Amino acid sequence: MSLEFAYYPGCAAKQVQKEADWAARAVARELGITLHAMPQATCCGAVSLRESKPAFSLAVAARILSEAEAQGRHLATICNTCLQTLSHANYRFKNEPELLEKINSVIVQAGVRAYKASINVYHLLWVITDQVDPALLRQKIKKPLNGMRVAPFYGCHNLRPAEILVAKGGESADHLDRLIQLLGGAPVAYNGHDKCCGFHVMLSDATEMRTMVAKNCLSAKDAGAEVMISPCTLCDMAMGAYQKPAENAVGKEINLPEMNFAQLLGLAMGINPDTLGISRLHVDPSAALVARKVL
């Protein structure tokens, strides 16, 4: 099977969380996944655009999906919110042909190719755990995690609503757990694994957001986590970069290194930490990695 995807990293991976993009490209190369650029793709608009301009948000999604379709490829992303937004639109386009026709009739007037709803929206994590040969993945692991206790933080939009996602969603999702096991780590079971990182209320409900970050991290830490990983650039931002503000908000020390799943995967593959942008992490994972001989 040829693993070729139209690659849609999302706004955060192009700017503040670019290390996730670096890591995604590096691990994809090793695993024989080709990520093709989408030069016309714009921001997906997230739920915000669905709220402010519902019809425009579907047109934006159709234009993005159409670009991937014109390449003859499914789309793969590394942002959970992009995943949910594009999956939601795609689910509607596949199930509501009249809606697709209405949207197409508008976008073609602007010179956009009509979308035929023939492609799927994937997360790169799902591609790695469900489509890459596990034997190949195992063979690429040069620096196994040696039993490192890793907390999987799935992120809401990787899981819910389960009905719109093409992979196993909701409570049955186990992608991150399986990945951690493949890397030689021990997935930590903890209360926060399917909770919200608070990213989308970072500005409107700042204290609540920071409390969410603290609760999730502390529940992972209490369960023995040495490191936390997430498949989402926005969760990374919240759980990693905002961990210090969260500590300040709740008055408790957390100090739990958090990184993108592709960064930990890359480290286990023996890829140079600089290529993976490890130094851009707010909570330094070096000690945890050295303790398990990953670094």
Partner 1 sequence: MPVYTFRIQRNQKNAQGTLESRYQEYTLELNETTTVLNALEELKGNQDGTLTFRQSCRSAICGSCAMKISGRTRLACKTHVGSVARDGVIELAPMANQPVLKDLVIDIGPFFRKVHQIKPYLEEGPEKATTVERSSYDQVNHVTQCIMCGCCYSDCTMKEVSEEFIGPAALAKAFRFVSDPREGQKTARLQELSEPGMMWSCTRCAMCIDSCPKDVKPMEAIVKLRTRGMQKGFVDGPGPRHALAFHQDIQKWGDLNEFTLLQRTVGILGSIAELGTALHLLKKGKIPSPFPHQAQGVEQLQKIYKLLEQNPIDVETKAKEVVPE
Binding site for partner 1 (CB under 8 A): 11-12, 14-17, 39-43, 45-56, 58-60, 63, 84, 92, 99, 102-103, 106-107, 109-112, 156-157, 159-162, 170-171, 191, 195-196, 198, 200-201, 203-206, 208, 211-212, 215, 237, 241-242, 244-245, 279-282
CB 58, min distance to partner 1, A: 6
CB 1, min distance to partner 1, A: 30
Closest CB to partner 1 among residues 12, 227: 12
Closest CB to partner 1 among residues 58, 75: 58
Tell me the DSSP string of 222-289: HTT-SEEEES-HHHHIIIIITHHHHHHHHT------EEEHHHHHHHHTT--TTTTTGGG-SS--HHHH
CB 134, min distance to partner 1, A: 24
Closest CB to partner 1 among residues 56, 131: 56
Closest CB to partner 1 among residues 171, 274: 171
Closest CB to partner 1 among residues 60, 148: 60
Which residues 6+ apart lie within 8 Å of 25 measured at CB? 35
Using alpha carbons, select from 289, 284, 231, 227 the residue that is nearest to residue 260: 231
CA–CA distance, 236 with 243 (Å, rounded to integer):
10
CA–CA distance, 47 with 84 (Å, rounded to integer):
9
CB 175 within 8 A of CB 129: yes
Hunting for tokens 């890793």 — which residue is that? 150
CB 50, min distance to partner 1, A: 6
CB 12, min distance to partner 1, A: 8
